[in-house]
Amino acid sequence: MKVVHSIEALRDQLRGQLRVAFVPTMGNLHAAHLSLMRLARQHGDPVVASIFVNRLQFGPNEDFDRYPRTLQDDIAKLEGERDVYVLFAPDERELYPEPQNFRIQPGQALGQILEGAFRPDFFMGVSTVVLKLFSCVQPRVAVFGKKDYQQLMVVRAMCRQFQLPVEILAHETVRDADGLALSSRNRYLSAAERAEAPYLYGLLQQVRDTLRAGPSDLAVVEAGAMQSLQARGWAPDYVAVRRQRDLQAPSQDEIQAGEPLVVLTAARLGGTRLIDNLEFTAV
């Protein structure tokens, strides 16, 4: 695997390549990231990964400064997989050589709900850096995980509206044996919090099972799930049942007709904010 730190060196490595598969990451790689690399290898050649902790997508009181940066360990993990041809690991001055005054602003319908409501600049930061990385790598396909469900939809919408020739592939959420979705931020959890954390996925399953049991008032189901989290010491931002196709609230008729749904949640456990989701149909 070749490790490059400049856009010029990246383009030198990829000159003439027409089937590039790309996996953008912020590093601190774990098993879920490595599974993204394997999926990329099935759909393109060569595979390019990137590691860049993107300041634009962090709010002023978020964890940009303490986000784990483990480049040497990440390189070793990627070399062990043998799926990645080039790792692009730029520093901030390489990717943002001047103030990034041109920024991508996702629309209200998708970019300012759920995560966008609680992290107002998050999807602007994601969209801007992904567009810039796509410009550098020029992939044919790119792989994103479903754990960041709304992010996946924002990136797809951006590619569609800008007519980018990039197919966005979705990888299923990778979980530990107890159900907790793998995340770099899981390392922030104390031992007691780690033992409690799988409850979040269990709650999503409860919401799914409630809606499958018969007609229910969505607002009541969502409020009950929030209260369950609060009773166990969590600080939830949202628990929301939405249509998979556009993340808008479904009608009762749509639910009963088998509309593909997803229940999404974000909640703090101690000082760690966790997100998760579960796709399902109610019939």
How far, in Å, are 52, 138, 160 from residue 248 at the CA level? 31, 32, 19
Catalytic residue status for 33: yes
Q: How far apart are alpha carbons 46 and 44 in whole angstroms?
A: 6
Are the CB atoms for 238 and 259 separated by under 8 Å? no
Are the CB atoms for 264 and 149 separated by under 8 Å? yes
Interacting residues of 132 by C-beta distance below 8 A, sequence separation 6+: 95
By annotation, the residues acting in catalysis are 33
